[in-house]
Each structure stands twice: as structure tokens, then as C-alpha cells.
Amino acid sequence: MSSQPPPSPQPPPPPPRAPTAVTGLGDDLLREIFLRLPDLPSLVRAAFACRAFRRAVRSSPAFRRSFRALHAPPLLALFLEPNFEVVPVFPCSWRRSDPDLVAADFFDIRLSRHGDADATGWEIHSKNPSNDGYFILDKVGAAGIKRRAAYNPLTQALDVFLYQPEVDIDLQFYTLSSENGHGPSRVVCVRHHRRRGERVTVFSSDTMEWKFFPNNTPPLREPGFTTGTVMRGLIWWQNLMYDQIVVLHTSTFHFSLIDVPTPLMTEWDESTYKLGETNDEKLCIVDIKDNTLVSFLLTAGDDDSVVERWVLYKEFPLDPIVNNTTGCSMEEDDCQVRVQLVAVIDGFIYLSIFYCKDAQSSELYLSLCLETSEMSELFKDTYRYNQEVHPYVMPWPPSLLQTKEDSETEFTSDSVVDDGPVCTEKASSVLIAALQSLSQALMDGNDSNKEIVADLDAFLLDTTKKTVAELDVFLRPNEDGEGSLMSKIASFDAQLVTARDRILRISA
């Protein structure tokens, strides 16, 4: 018998692979994972789980653009005038009895109106506390002289009304945040004079100085309370009297006029159109005509500043929308239906529907996607005589924008729970810094400020320093050092940040 050779020794098994920690994944792979998160609040919570996640999100502007293209900015809440009651928007039903939601009220107007503030400080206007999203503020001086300003905490825009026997000037301050986190934030002050027209000056956060533009345009807007809308480096004003739109290009600070689409031209006091943007950042205009929601896109030539024409985009008959959501028909006499266009933001049209059915008056708020025509119900309740509605869409958090001065700080999940899903930034610091710069220049009489005071004199009126003195009164606190316009703005913004973070906690 032949003997079999002994079996060859088997090679030893390979050592087990070391487990890969999720924090050890590369930035590119992490961003691919984050793109599949359902919404922006989920991304914020994930980014603040650890330092590596936060770095991956902040370091890529391309990721930010991709995430925005895939996920619409979430609507956090509706602010209802005149009392600015906050209505959080959630997938679940809104519960008025929830103590957390009750505590999330934006501003307590009753306390603001009748608080123990000094008589010479700024207080909410008692009869008309808000208008077009702005809080109307009054200041009564020792001699009984009343001054008025308006502030919008959602957009950080400020209106100052300067009235003298020979002066009728409206100063509007608009805060322009850096789009990519690397450039300076700016405050644009636009002066409107009913005879001398429009002029512009700009405050930059990197130089902390004002730059005055000498060009003076003819009056482009009708007098009265008309506020602008900031969109993608442009500031728009609806010039309802002439069926035109006034545009300020914040790259060149030149004004231009655009006619509204011919089908939307109407009597100035009957116009209801809203300006907005599509999800791919194209400028659009939306209106309700003959029970139909119509939208137009603005087309441009090779130079973005050269506007060609408005092009009809999409139309949505309102009767099917009303019938599907309320069970009423706009044609029925026993169903009283009123549809209002609320806003157009990032490709979404926001609508309010007031209707009476079975002797019960109700209000309903909807969103309609311009691109997909998808409709969502946001909030429904009994009718409470809300005059205006302002959606608060969550912006890209500044804490997820990388800046030059960044120093990385370790974040843990515990810190997210304690501090809220969004790292709370100091609200409105650029606007307050701009106002303080103006106030300091007006109060100081040394040589270093004579030039800026002279520029202010020329900017405001060109002929008299009375308006400069009037602006000084607006900005200066009372005799006890309290009650300044800056402190009121800081107080409003602190409440807005608190309400925003509380809403995000509740929706987590």
C-alpha cells in the first residue's frame, strides 16, 4: 500500500478587520450620507453630533447648494397679525393646549404696549401694533413730540420716519448677510425723499464704516409706508401706483424700474401680486386673477441687470383647490370663501383660505409647490380675524457656514440638547453696529467724525442739518441711558431666537 503525503499546513486565518468608526469616514462620504437626510433640521442635529460631522458640512459650498436643491427650506411657523401669535407648523396636528407651544408665542404685545418702560423710550404702537410684518414703534419725548419707526424681526429691516415742516424723509435699513460665510455682512440704508428721490449708503462689517454713494435718482416710489423685499442681492419695492417694481442692485447700488406683467396691471389700490423666487433662484411674480393663481418668471439677457420680459409660467385654478381642502365651492352662494395670496418663498406659494360652512367660520393655510404642483395643508382653525400672515422659513444656519476666523470647538449631542438644534448667534449684531456707528458720529463733535456728519447731512437732505439732529434723537437713549432704538431691536431679536429654537426643539 502506498502511503499518502501528509496534508499541507493551512495558512493562518487573516486577522479580523478593525472596525471603522463613523467619525473616521472621509468628508466626501459623510456628505453623501448627509444628502440623504430628510430635511434641514435633521442636518443641523447631525452636524452638531461631533466635530468631524460639522467640519464636513461647513467646508463645502457645493454640498450646501446640493442640499438646498434636494430639500426645500422648512417652514417653521406662521406669524399672525396683529398680535404676532406664533403657529408652529408640524406634521402632527397643532395643539393649542400644549404648554410648550403656548410658551412659544413670539411676542406678548400686551406687555410690550403697557409695560413699565420709561415714557421717553420706544413702545409698540397701541392701536396698530404691526403692518406688513413690521412692528410699529412710537417714542414720545418730554415735550410730547412723537416719533415713529418700524422694525421687522424676520428680515432684520428697519424703517425710520423723519418728519419736519420742510422735510418728509423715509430711511430704510436692510441687513444683507454674507451668502457664503466668507464675505462681510452689510447694512444698506435707502433714503426716500418725495421731492429729491432715492439715495443709498452702505455699512460693511469688515470696515465698520459707512460708504456714501453720491448719485441721486428721481423719486421712484409713492409716499407712504412701502417696504422692500430682499432677494438674492436685490431689494424690490412694489410701486403700486404705477404698476411698476423698483429694483436696487446691491452689487452696483443702481436703481431700475420694471413693469409688472400686462395681465396683472390694475388700479393701484387693488393690486394683490407677490414677488418671490423659484427653487432654482429665478425671480417670479404671482397673483390671483379670475379665480386662478397665475405665475410669471422674469427672463434676463446676457447681462443680469438687463431685464427682458415676464413669461407666463404656470396657472392653478382655485376652485379645485378650495373644493379639495374645504369641501366648499367658490361658486356656491351658501359657502362664503375668500382666498388670499400670502407669500412666495423659495418656489412655494403660501395661501390662506377663509370660509364659512355649516354656520362655522374657519381659516386654512396651504403651501403649493410651483415646480411639482404638490399642495400641503399647514394649519387649520376656527376663524380668528387674522389680518396678515407671515411665514417664517428656516434659513441656512450661520453656524454651518465656515468663516475665516473659525476656531473649531468640540460639540457633543448633549450640547445640542442644551443649546437647541441651532447654535444661537447674536441676532442683528450688524444692524445694531451700524446704528451705533451713526449714533456715535452724531454725538461726537471731534474732527474724526466731522466728515461722516457732513456726509450724513448731504445724504439726508443736502440743505439743512435739522434732519441730522432728528436722526440723533431717534438713536439716542433717554436721560437714564435706556429706551434706545437699538435696545428695543436687540430685545425683539432675542425673543425671535428664543421662539425659533423652542419651535425646533418641539419639532425634533
Tell me, yes or no, whether 32 and 174 share the same domain.
no
Dihedral, CA atoms, 326, 330, 335, 338, nearest 10 degrees? 80
Tell me, yes or no, whether 59 and 89 share the same domain.
no
Tell me, yes or no, whether 42 and 155 share the same domain.
no
Tell me how many domains the chain contains.
2
**Residue-by-residue pLDDT tens, the chain, 508 positions:** 566 777 777 777 777 766 666 666 788 899 999 999 988 878 888 888 888 888 898 888 889 888 887 887 778 788 877 766 777 775 444 344 444 444 445 554 443 444 444 455 787 776 677 777 788 888 876 555 577 888 888 888 898 887 665 666 788 999 887 765 567 889 999 888 777 778 899 998 888 888 888 766 777 766 555 778 888 778 888 776 677 888 888 888 888 888 888 888 876 556 788 888 887 778 899 999 888 999 999 886 555 555 568 899 999 999 999 888 888 887 776 678 889 898 898 889 999 888 887 778 888 888 898 988 888 888 787 776 666 788 888 777 777 877 654 544 444 433 333 333 333 344 467 888 888 888 877 776 555 556 777 777 778 766 667 777 778 777 776 665 566 788 888 888 887 777 777 776 665 5
Q: How many other CB atoms are found less than 10 A from the CB of residue 30?
A: 21
3-class DSSP string for 128-140: CCEECCEEEEEEE
Query: What are the grid coordinates assigned to 149, written together?
Result: 419707526
Query: What are the grid coordinates assigned to 324, written together?
Result: 379639495
Question: Does 174 reside within a domain?
Answer: yes
Q: Hunting for cell 428721481 — which residue is that?
A: 218
Going from the C-alpha of 481 to that of each of 139, 149, 475, 486, the distances in angstroms are 15, 19, 11, 12
Residue 485: in which H helix or E strand, if any? helix 485-507
Tell me, yes or no, whether 130 and 247 share the same domain.
yes
CB under 8 Å, gap of 24 or more: what pairs does 351-355 form? 351/293, 351/321, 352/386, 352/389, 353/322, 353/325, 353/326, 354/383, 355/322, 355/326, 355/328
On the 0-12 / 13-18 / 19+ scale of CB atoms within 10 A, 247 is buried
Tell me, yes or no, whether 46 and 119 share the same domain.
no
Tell me, yes or no, whether 177 and 42 share the same domain.
no
Beta strands in 232-335 (DSSP E): 234-239, 244-249, 254-259, 274-277, 283-289, 292-300, 307-317
Tell me, yes or no, whether 200 and 325 share the same domain.
yes
64, 93, 111 - which closes a domain: 64
Residue 458: in which H helix or E strand, if any? helix 447-460
Question: Does 78 reside within a domain?
Answer: yes
Tell me, yes or no, whether 237 and 123 share the same domain.
yes
Rounded-to-integer distance, Cα 176 and Cα 253, Å? 13
Q: Helix (H, G, I), strand (E, B), or coil: what is residue 497? A: helix
Tell me, yes or no, whether 123 and 47 share the same domain.
no
Instruction: Give the residue numbers spanning the domain of 55.
Output: 25-64
- Asked if residue 117 lies in contact with residue 483, where contact means CB atoms within 8 angstroms, the answer is yes
Question: Does 388 reside within a domain?
Answer: yes
Tell me, yes or no, whether 466 and 357 share the same domain.
yes
Cross-sheet strand order for the sheet of 348-357? 336-345, 348-357, 360-369, 375-382
Question: Does 3 reside within a domain?
Answer: no
Question: Does 15 reside within a domain?
Answer: no
| pTM score | 0.78
Tell me, yes or no, whether 465 and 496 share the same domain.
yes
- What pLDDT is attached to residue 428? 60
Q: Hunting for cell 399672525 — which residue is that?
A: 80
Q: Residue type for 403, please? A: T
Tell me, yes or no, whether 45 and 113 share the same domain.
no
